[in-house]
Structure 1
């Protein structure tokens, strides 16, 4: 839907014979610049999509490092209504980064000056599955002042404003027809 060719995600486990690579096969429907907002609550399938868009340079990712749930699990039914959940593989982005316990690092990181909120990620859980590859990318940092007097219902407004700012910068690189279309949609 967002890319027309290349790897979407790879699945790698203990047995290389069972590894899979999922490829894009259709023409992208959405060809305009994208901004993806993520935070520590972004997990699993959302991380797969974000990693794909980021690795293919189809989106600028803004926010905070994602949760890091990149494992593939099988549910094996047992007697008495019980089940065994067995981790059998890990998800990897098109560039080969493991999502598991690492998460997706945004291109532009939104940080607060005063870290007073509780954030839990996969790599902080007891007995979490580790990743062999660390993501070596360092995001650009933008600091948020927690002492602003914005109303509570606009708490995340800053992230949206930053996303619009990045989109505006990307639009400046587009042809005039795209700029006119964006101006119309923005009004």
Structure 2
């Protein structure tokens, strides 16, 4: 067990799929998120709807450590509103120069399955190169890189933007294409755009 001050930060990633209309499902999902956020040890959250994929949502909860996460789950379980794919991840790196994901206008979610013959640290450096292409933009909010707690070759990356046009400009540049191609050479990538839901 880690000493309290050295416990790794954890993120619970929940992926939801529903056929219910947004007006019915989203308030329920946000109520679930608020219940989670009221527990001791909770750091931050973001709930978002995936663009171009009606009925698909993602929710990320950050926690100060496994002990508090488990205690919160057992004290008063918060039941999600629909079957979800859930993943526990550790924070590899975070940069938040300009607000939080929940305050952004757009999220870019990048899931990666790194080739087992490749070096995961090389992927982490490659993700850092993508982030480096964003930091000069004043509309760039920040980034978060998570590694699965059960599979050291599985990653979820998050970039957030306060102006979608700035994101479009960066992600359609030749520099972005080159950096992304280097990642794709050693990892299977899935990229989604998402819209954060209001926290209240």
TM-score normalised per structure 2: 0.21
Bigger proportion of residues as helix? 2
Bigger proportion of residues as strand? 2
- Whose Rg is larger? 1
TM-score normalised per structure 1: 0.22
Q: Which has the higher contact order (CA 8 A, sep 6+)?
A: 2
